Structure 1
Amino acid sequence: MLGLTRLGMSMTVEVLLSLAPPDGTTKFVDQLTEGKHVDTQYRYFSWRTALLGRYQVFHVHWPEQLVRAPGALTQIVKRILFRLLLLRFKLSGIAVVRTLHNLQPHEEGDSVERRLLGKLDAATQLNIRLNAATPMDESTGVTILHGHYIGRYPGVEPTDVRVGRLLYFGLIRPYKGVERLLDIFQSIQDDTKTLRVVGRPTPELRSLIEAVCEQDERVSARLQFVPDDVLASEIYASELVVLPYKEMHNSGAILVALSLARPVLAPRSPTNELLAEEVGPGWVNMFDGDLSEAKLLAVLEEVRSLQRNPPKLSGRDWGVVGRQHHAAYLRAIELRKAS
């Protein structure tokens, strides 16, 4: 087949990711490319490469990013380019693979976006889900678990836990429930508890968090993207990582915390129930409905008192993930050839 080189029983596959190159902060793309199979060759996204470059597989993540832009003119241009990309897929032998990170985009798009992404779905040969709870047509899909982050922070030594330290980290958006966490924490009358918020917020949430920090000296924040070593230090210092999302499907943040052996409190979901069973007791603690003060304090006491074995994450080794992705690309190429 054009573009595939036989190496023993394997084949070299050229894959264009819909992702930008690594930027020094922990992202899915870092682990995916560093753990790749020897016969997988990755290229990073640019519109020039997408429309004119040589590759056999287009691997799309968070497809809404391909058709969204902060300015109206830029968005129009991106959507024209996206239509040209769809045309290239139709006229060429390029296979399309999509990783299903979320059931729906966290922030809803307009009707034009929905139509364009529907056309991308129709052009997709193979879907990859990151957990068995994601609904998927298994005849055109595979399950590949999200890899762990063990060994990702080799330059950071584990530090002593700051007793009573609660941590939220990651992007700060309305759907992630940080406002609720701030309200709950302020209602706790206990000077031995502290709350740390780390991540880049929207302008509105920045103002809210900064105001709370001024009002309550127990609350502190670092409102920006942080380097890996800083993030690891923040996690190591926490007694409990709190992710008060209004809903959660897949979360890299949970896996980062677990990889650094810190327990997590997160919303109950089919995905989190599977993860809790996988890693063992005491690591993934869940709340139902809205997070409450009582639940937060109860989980904090539980993680202090429970003797836990290290979280079981061996099934998420990135070497395994890389081999599974390579096999998925080969399958997608065969499906494209047969279509």
Structure 2
Amino acid sequence: MKVAIRPRTSPHNRYVELFAAAFEKAGWEVGSLDWRVAPVLAGRLMILHWPDEFYASPDARSRLLSWARIALMAASRRLFGVRWIWVVHNLVPHDQHTAVPGLWRAFTTELDGLVFLSSRSRATLVSERPDLSALPHLVTRHGDYRAGALTPPSPWQRPKGTTRLQFIGQVRPYKNLETLVEAARLLDAAIELGVAGFATTDFAAELRRKSAGVPALHLDLRSASLDEIELERIVDGTDAVILPYRQILNSGAALLALSRNRPVIAPALGGLVELRDAVGAQWVYLYEGELTRSVLEDAAAWVRAAERPPVCHLEPFDWAVVGPEIIRFAESLMANQAS
């Protein structure tokens, strides 16, 4: 069996490599989907993680290229029986406000299957696009990050002094870090907040300006993504990971934190509610509404007081469970192709 995945690897998210490894472990031949005509027409199964180019194209040339790729999808399906799957990490690209509706609808029309990483994901998509409700789909979980970790995760330990809360990931506007800065402005010395990750030059300058005079906040903004070992070290060095998203459907950063035995603080949005229900309220603190100083103080108190074991149990998110579910779904689509 052959599968081509886009992206096959990513410097920003190890999830895609773990996803591809599940197919390799099952004996599939795994390649990268690069939109070359001959490999697509000769393929069997194509999987897209973030097909953002079909939602919004910045210029006429990009739109023309996207339409050409949709035509290739259509030809591969109708003439050669190639199957196409979208892994629904989010419904629309983050930080995208201008859509090309006809392009996006044409893309979704050429799909053969959907993989959702939470029940909330499917419910949200179907509420907006009821025409996709009959499409074959799988509701699974976002796999954890323990497989392939470069360093052993350190066990959870209760803070003995200052409570350290850390944001990790790409520093982007949709992650609502400006609100985190404001909430941290009047915190006392018992709570420290860190923000570490890649940020564009303009957004980094904006955050530095807004965080001036906020002693509780420590910025570590980079011009390149953190490497895996450094990211693991930063997570292991904190008491909890805070993710002050304004909107979110699924969060790889939350799974990374839990994979390193660090509790998570986040808004009650998207699949995070299911994540809390699966791992326990001692590991995931969800707040309603805006992130404020009082929310931060309450969350920090929860970090110190909640009873939790040294290791977060993530059996439902283990790739030994998640991987075979995805493979079975892919095989079912291929069986339908053969019939």
**AA in 2 matched with 1:222:** D
Pick one of 198, 201, 207 that aligns with 2:199. Answer: 201
Partner of 2:264: 264
Pick one of 213, 220, 223 that aligns with 1:222. Answer: 220
Partner of 1:4: none
Partner of 2:129: none
2:169 corresponds to 1:170: yes
Distance 1:75 1:203 in 2: 27
Change (3 A) 1:212 1:107: closer
Number of corresponding residues:
323
Select between 155-164 and 201-210 the one with higher mean Cα deviation.
155-164
What 5-or-longer segments of structure 1 have no aligned partner? 1-12
Pick one of 116, 123, 127 that aligns with 2:103. Answer: 116
What 5-or-longer segments of structure 2 have no aligned partner? 127-132
Distance 1:235 1:47 in 2: 36
Distance 1:91 1:254 in 2: 42
Distance 1:117 1:308 in 2: 44
1:97-142 CA distance string (max 9 Å, x none)? 1111113332336453x32221221121211111122225376111
> Identity over the aligned pairs, expressed in percent?
23
Cα RMSD of the aligned pairs, angstroms, is 2.6
Partner of 1:327: 328
TM, length-normalised to structure 2: 0.85
The offset of 1:152, in angstroms, is 3.6
Query: Map of 1:190-339 to 2, 5 A cutoff?
Result: 190-212=188-210, 214-224=212-222, 225-269=225-269, 271-309=271-309, 310-337=311-338
The offset of 1:53, in angstroms, is 5.9
Partner of 2:33: 45
Distance 1:117 1:41 in 2: 29
**AA in 1 matched with 2:105:** G
Pick one of 142, 152, 155 that aligns with 2:138. Answer: 142
Contact preservation (8 Å) 1:89, 1:95? yes
Change (3 A) 1:49 1:285: farther
**AA in 2 matched with 1:98:** W
Change (3 A) 1:288 1:205: same
Change (3 A) 1:322 1:132: same
